Amino acid sequence: MTPTQATARFFNSAADLLNLPDRERKQLLTPYREIKVECSFARDDGSLATFVGYRVQHDNSRGPMKGGIRYHPQVDIDEVNALAALMTWKTAVVNLPYGGAKGGIACDPRQLSIGELQRLTRMFTQRLHDVIGMYTDIPAPDMGTNAQTMAWIMDEYSKFHGHNPGVVTGKPVELGGSLGRDAATGRGVLFAAECLFADLGKKVSDFTYAIQGFGNVGSWAARLFHEAGGKIVAVADVSGGIANTKGLDIPNLMLHVAKTKSVAGFPGSEPILADELLYQSCDVLIPAALGDVLNGQNAGKVKAKYILEGANHPTDPDADAVFAANGVTVVPDIFANAGGVTVSYFEWVQNVQEFRWEEEKVNAELRRVMQKAYADLSEVRKKYGCDLRTAAFTLAVDRVSMATRLRGI
């Protein structure tokens, strides 16, 4: 099934529990606005390059829309639609005053020079500047983009609207970004794990972990779980995977990746195929790369008893059914990886206030938000006797539905 179909299926499971009328379901599923733009620019060799960019603004009933921009060859309107909807539900789960949006350009950023990436980003911003803004729709980094990308967007936007750092989050600290933002998504995954394990009378250090993806989210998760005493027994990136049943030396692995740009070849590890990472013997699997990696065909191979979703929609509904039958607990993406958007909210608040928070405050507030969200999830799960994903969607859909009704729409 497509990402949009999978997201709608999760939504409808929650809507069924809430007895939501069909007219409200259609309204909540339909995006507020879909944008498709042509982005043409001169390559370094003088040739003309043209890429297609998208921005889907899903819902604004609870506040300005919020969501990342990704640069990846597989970006298409269906994926962006699904991710925008997930942002609506994610911000509602952690009770931020936002709605959801998402954007992207179908390109391979590894094939573009820094100058070409800057020209592409500025062209994309020119096409979108009338429909984004700090009280309208606030982009952030995602796969294939980073703080530098956000700096270019902010600068280009400012040419049309004046100095306005709050138009994006995930910016460099020197341009109004927040301390702690780089680590926020990975740290949020750690806090989600702490909440889950506390319910079991356990600690992070009681488990072994395999992490798929070693970009921003995966690398920070590895570092933070290692610091908390967790044993990381396998990691993988686009180049392949590595494993060590005694635990990988994460600090030295970080140095290795900084030098080689890959986890492959790390001393003291055994090579594994990247896809085999999902089936490693471990207690906890953290998919932190692309979506749709766990499905009905491969879910039965997963040996982990807990899945913490660091990536967006890594698990489809068929895989969820397999995990439920096998007694695997899944901590869903719209809670587990909400640390990024939460600290993005803190960054936006700092921009509005024109006052910077210390990193200790950022991290403490993130922990507070994640703990409160988990407590809310637990109440919903007990009320309806459902799994964590259904509880998360039910909590989110109820909040967005209530806001929509209160606005009189």
- Strands lying side by side in the sheet with 65-71: 33-42, 48-57, 99-105, 65-71, 137-141
Residue partners of 391: CB distance under 8 A and separation at least 6: 377, 378, 380, 381, 384
User: How large is the C-alpha radius of gyration of the chain?
Assistant: 20
Contact 324, 385 (CB under 8 A): no
Residue partners of 349: CB distance under 8 A and separation at least 6: none
Please give the distance of CA 319 from its chain centroid, rounded to a whole number.
Answer: 19
Is 102 labeled as catalytic in the residue annotation?
yes
CA distance 305 to 302: 8
Residue partners of 306: CB distance under 8 A and separation at least 6: 196, 207, 283, 284, 285, 328, 329, 330, 331
213 Rama class: left (phi>0) / alpha (psi -120 to 50) / beta: left
Q: Which of 90, 102, 171, 231 is catalytic?
A: 102
Burial annotation 309-344 (CB, 10 A radius, 16+ → b, else e): bbbbbbbbbbbbebbeeeebbbbbbbbbbbbbbbbb
Catalytic residues: 102
